[in-house]
Structure 1
Amino acid sequence: MKRIKWVLGLSLVGVLAVSGTAYALGSGASGMMGQTPQFIRTQNQVGISKMGYGYGMMGNYASSNGAAGYGGNGGGCGGVNNGESYSMMGGPYNAASLGINLTDGQVTTDDQALSLAKAYVQVLNQDLSIDEIHEFNDSYEVELNESKTSNKAFEFLIYKNGGYISSEMGPNAMWNTQYGHMNGRNSGNPGKPTVTAEQASKTAQDYVNQQMGTGYSIEQPEVAPGYYEFMILKDGKDFAELDINGYAGQVWFENWHGPMIKTINNGSTTK
């Protein structure tokens, strides 16, 4: 089994710059069916030895095989040290600015995380609803749906230290064709994804089989604007998330959070 090395002790921006993970299929989306994906290393990725090109989280990145690279747009995500953060629809916000009282300045309960998420959604003044919340060691990831359609919208983070809120990075920012604030390449309506859910599922399962080993599996995909998101299970429990680009088939393993502690679904812990 190839072990994934978690990057700890860094600020959010540092984690994004050091451990942002994206992979491209060597043959492109058109050649996905019936082939084993070639997972390709991007900048500073730990644990993968193959080379090629892919998206970088920050700054520009050129390929190693002569093909054009893709530039990750600049911009940042604030952290708990200075109280500033980028939110998908504006900000910054934290527990104090949203009127949520925390014990010793820490988000320590599921109810506090849910209250913060609801308060922030109300501030956004959008027709959005909370789908589920994933707890990690230092933060909660909140997934939002469009209330009228139940379609996935976008994700944001609540940091346990101070309840600061920021936009989730990775595919949420760079691949989301409707809400992604870094997605300049696909501005407007790029049309229906060219990668099917079946192709994305096969690619995701191949990644888990080849890069993570036994004991890991995937759930059915959730369809986000421009990409598919999969929950990776470890011994049947929520562990991490993996995304497949809906147009080019890149694989992006969300490893910057560390292992998932649990999932909170509509206020109830599910797994």
Structure 2
Amino acid sequence: MRGGHYWQAGDGNPVVTMDQARQRADAFADRLDLRVGEVMRFSKNFYAELETSSGKPATEILVDPADGDTGIEYGPAMMWNTDYSMHRGRTQDRITPEQAQDRARQWLQDQDRHLTVGEAEAFPGYYTFHTLHSGKISGMLSVNASTGAVWDHTWHGTYMAISEH
């Protein structure tokens, strides 16, 4: 299969609605025996969380609005995920969700960013957080569950909308 399980070609048609993005995410999730959780729209892409059948976060993917190409999200999902990345099984979690949230808060403060973080989403090997401005989603960042390293999701662009299950 072209691109392995990390990428799936779109049909060349633009993806403009949340429903279309969810359909592309569903097609990708089916290949991994996962299901789609939340879907978010940003100015540069659509983002979706993939979950196990029991609802546990598994990995994160992006849908390209230009052509529907769908794949494992850059950064943490591709590099830190211990179950669904090219680095499967490499690390052990040592950082709790609370410690990761504290690390994310400190990182934002050190960057002089006037943002807060939401609740930790525990993916295999890392945690992802919504960054918040005045209580509203503005972006995302992740914290490595082994090292505490922070990775800002700069590739999304401006947050636009969210759709739960």
Same fold at TM > 0.5:
yes
Deviations 1:54-79 (A, max 9, x none): xxxxxxxxxxxxxxxxxxxxxxxxxx
- In 2, Cα distance between equivalents of 1:232 and 1:125: 28
Secondary structure class of the residue paired with 1:135: strand
Deviations 1:105-139 (A, max 9, x none): 321112211222223323x051x111111111131
- In 1, Cα distance between equivalents of 2:62 and 2:129: 18
Secondary structure class of the residue paired with 1:223: strand
- In 2, Cα distance between equivalents of 1:114 and 1:212: 35
Deviation, 1:238, is 1.2
Secondary structure class of the residue paired with 2:127: strand
Residue equivalent to 1:73 = none
Secondary structure class of the residue paired with 2:159: coil
1:238 paired to 2:137: yes
Q: Select 1:177's aligned residue among 82, 97, 110.
A: 82
Which structure has the bigger radius of gyration?
Answer: 1
Q: Select 2:72's aligned residue among 163, 167, 176.
A: 167
The alpha-carbon distance between structure 1 residues 166 and 188, as it changes in their structure 2 partners (threshold 3 A), is closer
- In 2, Cα distance between equivalents of 1:242 and 1:125: 24
Deviations 1:45-103 (A, max 9, x none): xxxxxxxxxxxxxxxxxxxxxxxxxxxxxxxxxxxxxxxx846x25532136xxxxxxx
Secondary structure class of the residue paired with 1:108: coil
Q: Is the 8 A contact 2:44 2:157 kept in 1?
A: no
1:154 paired to 2:59: yes
- In 1, Cα distance between equivalents of 2:117 and 2:157: 17
- In 1, Cα distance between equivalents of 2:73 and 2:140: 13
Identify the structure with bigger relative contact order (alpha carbons < 8 Å, sequence gap 6+). Answer: 2
Q: Is the 8 A contact 1:94 1:164 kept in 2?
A: yes
1:256 paired to 2:161: no
Q: Is the 8 A contact 2:82 2:89 kept in 1?
A: yes
Q: Select 2:98's aligned residue among 198, 205, 213.
A: 198
Deviation, 1:189, is 6.4
Matched length:
164
Task: After TM superposition, list the pairs within 5 Å mapping 1:40-55 onto structure 2.
Answer: none
The alpha-carbon distance between structure 1 residues 206 and 188, as it changes in their structure 2 partners (threshold 3 A), is closer
Residue equivalent to 2:26 = 118
1:135 paired to 2:41: yes
- In 2, Cα distance between equivalents of 1:119 and 1:211: 38
Deviations 1:156-205 (A, max 9, x none): 11111121112211010111011112x2xxx43644x1112221111111
Q: What value does the CA root-mean-square deviation take over the aligned residues?
A: 2.0
Secondary structure class of the residue paired with 1:230: strand
Q: Percent identity?
A: 30
Q: Point out 4+ residue stretches in structure 1 off by more than 6 angstroms.
A: none
Residue equivalent to 1:107 = 15
1:217 paired to 2:116: yes
Deviation, 1:212, is 3.9
Q: Structure 2: which amino acid aligns with 1:137?
A: S
Deviations 1:208-264 (A, max 9, x none): 2231433x2111111010111111012222111111111111111111222221212
Secondary structure class of the residue paired with 2:8: coil
Residue equivalent to 1:144 = 50
1:93 paired to 2:40: no
- In 2, Cα distance between equivalents of 1:208 and 1:147: 33
- In 1, Cα distance between equivalents of 2:148 and 2:118: 18
- In 2, Cα distance between equivalents of 1:93 and 1:223: 28
Secondary structure class of the residue paired with 1:242: strand
Q: Which has the higher strand share?
A: 2
Secondary structure class of the residue paired with 1:244: strand
Q: Structure 2: which amino acid aligns with 1:197?
A: P
